[in-house]
Amino acid sequence: MSGTAEVDDLPRANIKRVVKKKIAELTKDDPSRKDIAIQREALTAFSESARLFIHYLSATANDICKESKRQGINAEDVLKALEEMEFPELLEPLGTSLNAFRKQNASKKSESKTKSADRKRKSEVELEMQNGNGHHAEDTKEMQDKIGEETKEDENDDIEEDE
């Protein structure tokens, strides 16, 4: 690998951060090992190893995807590829991370749906008001309260769906 960055190169700062974090975890009980220096050659070796692993994992997951007659690699393909590559020790941590990612994504989708529904309801109320189908102040307040209650019900429904 030359001194210039190639398209396949992984960001050195990310590799260094991951390596340092893992080394810190492994040496946390040894107070004499505060900050471990990582030589440039070692960082290059880590980076190249990670790049090769990602290429191998991608190719294996792609083969699994093609066997299933699909066009896109999904998370299950990657998990199955790890099994085929004989890296079962990575399945549990990856599965945990994947579940956390899915939960986070689901809550973001839920929030987005709720905000979208609120905007739609608000627009409908405003449109009614503009078209002369408006209500007195008490009726408008009542409608806003109703929208708030429906929003809370939608949020509760989304929470129940996630569980």
Residue 31 falls inside a structural domain = yes
Is 157 a member of any domain?
yes
What does the alpha-carbon distance between residue 72 and residue 92 come to, in Å, rounded to a whole number?
23
Asked whether residue 81 falls in the same domain as residue 18, the answer is: yes
d(C-alpha 136, C-alpha 142), whole Å: 10
**Helical spans, DSSP H, in the chain:** 12-26, 40-67, 75-84, 91-130, 137-162
Same domain for 38 and 74?
Answer: yes
Cβ-based neighbours of 142, under 8 Å, separated by 6 or more = 135
Are residues 73 and 3 located together in one domain of the fold? Answer: yes
- Whether 33 and 61 have beta carbons less than 8 Å apart is answered as no
Burial of 43 (0-12, 13-18, 19+ CB in 10 A): middle
* pLDDT computed for residue 17 by the predictor: 92
Per-residue pLDDT of the chain (163 residues; tens, 9 = 90+): 445 556 678 888 999 999 988 888 888 877 776 677 889 999 999 999 999 999 999 999 999 999 999 999 999 999 999 999 999 999 999 999 999 999 998 877 777 777 777 777 777 777 777 776 555 545 556 666 666 666 566 555 555 555 4
Is 92 domain-assigned? no
Domain's final residue, options 52, 86, 120: 86
What is the spatial distance between Cα 115 and Cα 158, in angstroms, rounded to a whole number?
Answer: 13
pLDDT at 126: 73
Range(s) of the domain holding residue 46: 1-86
| Within-domain flag for 102 | no
Same domain, 64 and 121: no
CATH of the domain at 40: 1.10.20.10
Amino acid code (one letter) for 155:
E
d(CA 160, CA 110): 11
Looking at the 3D structure of the chain, how many domains does it have?
2
Instruction: Look at the block and give the residue holding tokens 């199955």.
Output: 80
78 & 154 share domain = no
Q: Is residue 148 part of a domain?
A: yes
Instruction: Give residue 84's pLDDT.
Output: 96
Q: Is 95 a member of any domain? A: no
Residue 91 lies in a domain: no
Check residue 120 and give its pLDDT. 73
Residues 81, 148: one domain? Answer: no
| Whether residue 37 sits in one domain with residue 73 | yes
Regarding whether 55 and 8 lie in a shared domain, the answer is yes
pLDDT score of 161: 53
At residue 54, the pLDDT reads: 95
104 part of a folded domain: no
Q: Does 74 share its domain with 149?
A: no
